[in-house]
Amino acid sequence: MISGPLNKYEEKESITIEKIKEDNKDVKNIKKHVFRYVIYTGESKDSYIFFNKAGMRVAIRAKKDAQFEKVKDLIKTLSVKERKEAHD
């Protein structure tokens, strides 16, 4: 069983999330997202907050400006091919 590397990875993840929590007491619901880069998201009462892999705040967006429904509607209009091309 290869648990050493996994334990080290989980420990590093835990340290980053704890740093975000300590530095941003109002942020809840922290999640990690991995694309070509790593980003963590969290949310406060009024905002979505984005953190880099070092736990530093890199962006903030007001919840009132979120366009989730608009994006969902757009996705419904795209063909499967267009969705794949948009993702690539």
The model's pLDDT over 2-29, given as tens digits with 9 standing for 90+, comes to 677 778 888 888 999 999 999 999 999 9
- Per-residue pLDDT tens digits for 59-86: 999 999 988 888 788 777 776 655 566 6
Q: What is the pLDDT of residue 20?
A: 92
CA distances for 57 relative to 51, 64, 65, 83, angstroms: 4, 20, 19, 30
Residue type, 39: I
Q: What is the pLDDT of residue 85?
A: 63
Q: Measured between alpha carbons, how far is 51 from 32 in angstroms, rounded to an integer?
A: 9
- Domain around 30: 4-87
- Split at pLDDT 50, 70, 90, the class of 88 is low
Q: What is the pLDDT of residue 70?
A: 84
Question: How many helices and strands (H and E) does the chain possess?
Answer: 3, 4
Q: Measured between alpha carbons, how far is 81 from 69 in angstroms, rounded to an integer?
A: 21
CB-CB contact of 42 with 25 (8 Å): no
Q: What is the pLDDT of residue 5?
A: 77
Please tell me the total count of domains within the chain. Answer: 1
Q: What is the pLDDT of residue 60?
A: 93
